[in-house]
Amino acid sequence: MHSERFRPLVDAKGPFVSIYFDDSHDTQDAAAQLDARLRDVRKHLEEQSVDASVIEAIESAVRGARPPVGRSGRALIAAGGAVVADEHLIRPPATTQLRVSELPYLIPIVEHGLLHTTYLVVAVDHTGADITVHRPGKVSHETLDGEGRPVHKAKTAEGHEYGTAQGKVDEAVRKNIRAVADRVTHLVDDVGAELVFIEGEAGARTELASALPERAADKVVQLQGGGRAAGTDEAEVRHEIGQEFLKRRLATIDDAAQRFAAGRGTGLAVEGLADVTAALRDGAVDTLIIGELGDATVVADADLATVAPDADTLSALGGAPERTLRADEALPLLAAATGAALVRTDERLSPADGVGAVLRYAENSSAG
Specify the pTM.
0.80
Contact by Cβ (8 Å): 124, 198: yes
Compute the distance between CA of residue 321 and CA of residue 304 in angstroms, rounded to an integer: 10
Q: Is the pLDDT of residue 36 over 50?
A: yes
Q: Is the pLDDT of residue 165 over 70?
A: no
Q: Is the pLDDT of residue 364 over 70?
A: no
More confidently predicted of 107 and 116: 107
Contact by Cβ (8 Å): 86, 96: no
Compute the distance between CA of residue 19 and CA of residue 106 in angstroms, rounded to an integer: 10
Q: Which of 23-27, 114-118, 156-160 has the lowest mean pLDDT?
A: 156-160
Domain residue spans in the chain? 4-112, 119-232, 249-359
How would residue 367 be classed by pLDDT, with cut points 50, 70 and 90? very low
Q: Which of 110-124, 186-200, 224-238, 293-307 has the lowest mean pLDDT?
A: 224-238
Domain boundaries 4-112, corresponding CATH code: 3.30.960
Residue 320, pLDDT score: 86
Asked if domains 4-112 and 119-232 share a fold, the reply is no
Q: Is the pLDDT of residue 132 over 50?
A: yes
How would residue 150 be classed by pLDDT, with cut points 50, 70 and 90? low
Compute the distance between CA of residue 198 and CA of residue 219 in angstroms, rounded to an integer: 10
Compute the distance between CA of residue 40 and CA of residue 63 in angstroms, rounded to an integer: 15
Q: Is the pLDDT of residue 151 over 70?
A: no
Compute the distance between CA of residue 292 and CA of residue 355 in angstroms, rounded to an integer: 8
Contact by Cβ (8 Å): 347, 291: no
Taking only the tens place, the pLDDT of each residue in 232-285 is 777 788 888 888 988 888 888 899 999 999 998 899 999 999 999 999 999 999
What's the N-to-C CA distance of the chain in angstroms? 30
Residue 319, pLDDT score: 86
Q: Which CATH superfamily is domain 119-232 in?
A: eRF1 domain 2 (3.30.420.60)
Taking only the tens place, the pLDDT of each residue in 175-195 is 999 999 999 999 999 999 999
Contact by Cβ (8 Å): 359, 267: yes
Average pLDDT (19-37) is 84
Residue 295, pLDDT score: 94
Contact by Cβ (8 Å): 44, 22: no
Q: Are strands 195-200 and 220-222 parallel, antiparallel or unpaired?
A: parallel
Fold classification of 249-359 (topology level):
60s Ribosomal Protein L30; Chain: A; (3.30.1330)
How would residue 3 be classed by pLDDT, with cut points 50, 70 and 90? confident
